[in-house]
A and B are shown apart, each in its own frame.
Chain A
Amino acid sequence: SYELTQPPSVSVSPGQTARITCSGDALSKKYAYWYQQKSGQAPVLVIYEDSKRPSGIPERFSGSRSGTMATLTISGAQVEDEADYYCYSTDSSINHRVFGGGTKLTVL
């Protein structure tokens, strides 16, 4: 089955750059998407098609993809960026979708 692998946790100090990775074979051919989920809330899209930022998402959020790995970068992370982050993609058939296991970002 198709899987996406993320580190369980990432920790940075305020103002530092946080990088969250996502790896999976299908990422060599398919876009990566990233969602932010704060405690008790529904997820919010922060990056789509590897590197595009939806309206309203701060510029400090950026994304990239190379080979079988996608990376979410938060430049100058802020305390309010503390959340769980999930990568997402499709399998080669586009019939199935999958989320990574999630990464808890701590900013303190």
Chain B
Amino acid sequence: QVQLVESGGGVVQPGRSLRLSCAASGFTSSIYSMHWVRQAPGKGLEWVAVISYDGSNTYYADSVKGRFTISRDNSKNTLYLQMNSLRAEDTAVYYCARDPPQWMSLSGAFDIWGQGTMVTVSS
């Protein structure tokens, strides 16, 4: 069964750090780019970051650049999001999503999503 399972969310104080994980199963995750997308309570989707299939390229939304780091361990089929200097406005459900390679159909689309993990930044 193809699935993504996020973990690591919780309540954290402003200025502190948190690391999210996204475990992939049922497919060869090492050939896919992977993204993090977040959704603040009652708000819309916001793209956060992307990492290439081999981890060699990463890009970030301006809102998190310099504070968040996306990484992956293909030997563990796991994607990470290290979040530092957290702010109240980072409070959201964080989703990981799969992005197929260019030689596959659905390339460029988030074809599989995890169920999300909630991060609350509050004192």
Contact check, B106 vs A54: say whether CB atoms are below 8 A apart: yes
Contact check, A42 vs B59: say whether CB atoms are below 8 A apart: no
Most buried by B among A48, A49, A100: A48
Taking residues whose C-beta sits less than 8 angstroms from the other chain, chain A's interface range is: 20 to 34
Q: Can you name the residue of chain A whose Cβ is closest to the Cβ of B109?
A: A48
Contact check, B47 vs A48: say whether CB atoms are below 8 A apart: no
A98 to B62: give the CA distance in the assembly, Å. 11
Near B by CB (< 8 A), chain A positions 18-76 give 31, 33, 35, 37, 42-45, 48-49, 52, 54
In the bound complex, residues from chain A placing their C-beta under 8 Å from that of B115 are 42
Q: Name B47's contact: one of A42, A54, A98, A101 (CB within 8 Å).
A: A98
Encode contact with A along B26-66: 1 for CB under 8 Å, 0 otherwise: 00000000010100000011110010000000010110000
Contact check, A45 vs B45: say whether CB atoms are below 8 A apart: no
Q: Can you name the residue of chain B whose Cβ is closest to the Cβ of A47?
A: B109
Count A-B contacts at CB 8 Å.
57
Contact check, A45 vs B44: say whether CB atoms are below 8 A apart: no
Taking residues whose C-beta sits less than 8 angstroms from the other chain, chain B's interface range is: 20 to 34
In the bound complex, residues from chain A placing their C-beta under 8 Å from that of B37 are 43, 99
Contact check, B108 vs A48: say whether CB atoms are below 8 A apart: yes
Q: Name A90's contact: one of B95, B108, B113, B114 (CB within 8 Å).
A: B108
A52 to B61: give the CA distance in the assembly, Å. 27
Q: Name B44's contact: one of A1, A33, A54, A101 (CB within 8 Å).
A: A101
In the bound complex, residues from chain B placing their C-beta under 8 Å from that of A86 are 44-45
Q: Can you name the residue of chain A whose Cβ is closest to the Cβ of B49?
A: A97
In the bound complex, residues from chain B placing their C-beta under 8 Å from that of A102 are 44-45
In the bound complex, residues from chain A placing their C-beta under 8 Å from that of B105 are 52
In the bound complex, residues from chain A placing their C-beta under 8 Å from that of B35 are 97
Given A33-B108, A95-B59, A96-B61, the answer on whether A43 and B47 have CB atoms closer than 8 Å is no
B contacts, CB < 8 Å to A: 35, 37, 44-47, 50, 59, 61-62, 95, 105-106, 108-111, 113-116
Q: 11 A-B Cβ contacts within 8 A?
A: A35-B45, A42-B114, A43-B110, A54-B111, A86-B45, A88-B47, A95-B59, A96-B59, A97-B50, A99-B47, A102-B45
